[in-house]
A and B are shown apart, each in its own frame.
Chain A
């Protein structure tokens, strides 16, 4: 479709002169952190696209990954993961480059009063602590939705979960070390609201982890990709597929969609060296245990899930759009649009739509399932027939970073003056030549 739907607004300047791996937007402020092979992390403004500061001296090798701690006010906390096998924690008071958008904080320093608020370090990133534990390159890190837990993973095949004790002394405690993966763990990503972790990696699997009676353990091992799984992202809790204009009763559809979603929870999107991106869905417990339901969904429940085990199934495979490895996917928590980028230098956007039947109505399931649903209408509330959707490509941009491979993409709230509305989102993409691009996807039909 028309690539003009994606508009390159600006590069973040000056760029790193070496490969950049990932750019992560701050949860509330209009700034991002970019990880570079030059061992630094660059903090850029999304209001004027300039470099605000550079975090140096913390890592001895490439900085591969970074993540902002959520739910803290007055201060920003950034975790960085490096090929030097360590994870750094950095702190900075929220006072610079953000004057027009700093969240109004009534309690100025009470949460983190251990630091003198008047010294020179106010203006700079303060190194807080180095988390040492992995044996080899740290590949991905992720803060839990509450900000209490930090998950890290490495080539040493392990995932570590650390608890931020928040004791004013920058102490972190190792909560769990999981070693079930058969190869490098390339990505860890927390569920958007629950303490549930997803991981993926070199062994081509995706795994889901939860805490059960103080023990962190694997609750699902999802197989389907035929190559390294590079990246994972969770669906937002509030998004819903789009309905075409001819569709009857979109409200009804989305409310049915939401009640269905409340049973299975947010889905996962993954991307892989096998050049596919796939969507995965958890089978609701009650449904998996019911023969009737499995008949409806067409998924045989051979093994009755016991205890905390979860059954995850492939919901869909996104339309083929990449010729080389897909390195990152980003599932917009606002619009539900999925973006993918990879070694072929392409940016692809996908949108999920309800499937409309002939005659303008939307069928909720196939004919067999409909019959089942009617026979068991009293049971409909607990196990409604699945609404059918399909994913379609809404934009493709070739050579988005020229000839360079794109390593990462993330959605961020648009913060520059050209903003088309408060809710507009932009895509921030990061490439091998050190460039980071700020791309508008604004389209009235699309978003």
Chain B
């Protein structure tokens, strides 16, 4: 990160970012501890029986909530958030049932399309990993993450996508101290 790759990025005003009007919170900074964390189901519920429905009556999680989770992640090379840089945006987030053919399945897939600030940004993988890690750490385990580079916005998008979709590589990255320091720094602004 010695050299800034995009020294003059387009910056959005924080006040202009989409937000759900929550009168008690500042700039959409939702209080997670009493929000979705409280709704995380106890894993023991899933080991014992097939009572899928009654234990999962959590507050539904929507795209805005996903956006709120990731918009404050810092860009690794700018003192700006991914939301401000429009690297992540509300229209590029979708939540769909993972198994549409199994209506009773609680599994949902969160798709986040990332738009790097420049098409050859070598930090795209790190940004994508940061988003994925943030979601994995915040969302209940019934969510499947699909974090990808938006088509046509990066020169090696397919390569980056393959890495971000590789569970084993992501797991190994989480055990890589140097890499996790970078990710932790990006997350500092989320808390």
Contacts and interface: CB of A to CB of B under 8 A. Distances in A.
A19 B45 CA distance: 17
A183 to B, nearest CB: 9
Contact of B169 (A155, A404, A432): A155
A403 B141 contact: yes
B98 A323 contact: yes
Contact of A345 (B107, B171, B175): B107
A228 B162 contact: yes
A323 to B, nearest CB: 5
Given A344-B98, A435-B47, A184 B169 contact: yes
Contacts of B106: 403
B173 to A, nearest CB: 10
A62 B165 contact: no
Contacts of B175: 61-62, 83
Given A323-B99, A399-B52, A228 B166 contact: yes
B142 interface: yes
Contact of A155 (B43, B46, B172): B172
B172 A137 contact: yes
B54 interface: no
How would you classify the secondary structure of chain B's contact residues: helix, strand, loop or mixed? loop
Nearest to B106: A403
A229 to B, nearest CB: 12
- Interface size for chain A: under 10, 10 to 19, 20 to 34, or 35 or more residues? 20 to 34
B46 A403 contact: yes
A314 interface: no
A400 to B, nearest CB: 10
A37 B46 contact: no
B26 to A, nearest CB: 33
Given A323-B98, A399-B52, A433-B141, A62 B171 contact: yes
B172 A402 contact: no
A164 to B, nearest CB: 27
Interface string B42-59: 010111001010000000
List the 6 shortest-distance A-B pairs measured between CB atoms, nearest first. Answer: A402-B46, A403-B142, A61-B175, A137-B172, A83-B172, A398-B102
Contacts of B105: 398-399
How would you classify the secondary structure of chain A's contact residues: helix, strand, loop or mixed? loop
B144 interface: yes
Contact of A343 (B52, B144, B162, B172): B144
B168 interface: yes
Given A37-B171, A344-B107, 4 more contacts: A273-B166, A325-B165, A398-B102, A402-B52
Contacts of A404: 46, 141
A136 B102 CA distance: 39
Nearest to B100: A323
B59 to A, nearest CB: 17
Interface in B59-112: 98-99, 101-102, 105-107
Contacts, number: 70
- Interface size for chain B: under 10, 10 to 19, 20 to 34, or 35 or more residues? 20 to 34
27 contacts: A11-B47, A37-B171, A64-B168, A83-B171, A83-B172, A83-B175, A137-B168, A155-B169, A184-B166, A186-B168, A202-B162, A273-B166, A323-B99, A324-B144, A325-B165, A325-B167, A343-B144, A345-B107, A398-B99, A399-B105, A402-B47, A402-B52, A403-B46, A403-B140, A433-B43, A433-B46, A433-B141
A225 to B, nearest CB: 13
A180 B140 CA distance: 40
Interface string A396-416: 001101111100000000000
Interface of A: 11, 19, 37, 61-62, 64, 83, 136-137, 139, 155, 184, 186, 202, 228, 273, 323-325, 327, 343-345, 398-399, 401-405, 432-433, 435
Given A399-B52, A399-B105, A403-B141, A202 B47 contact: no
A324 B97 CA distance: 12
A83 B167 CA distance: 13
Nearest to A346: B99
Contacts of A273: 165-166
A343 B43 CA distance: 17
A399 B50 contact: yes
Nearest to A83: B172
Contacts of B107: 344-345, 403
Interface in B127-151: 140-142, 144
Interface in B29-51: 43, 45-47, 50
A186 B172 CA distance: 13
Given A345-B107, A398-B105, A139 B168 contact: yes
A401 B48 CA distance: 10
B10 to A, nearest CB: 34
Nearest to A60: B175
A2 to B, nearest CB: 16
Nearest to B141: A403
Contacts of B169: 155, 184
A204 to B, nearest CB: 10
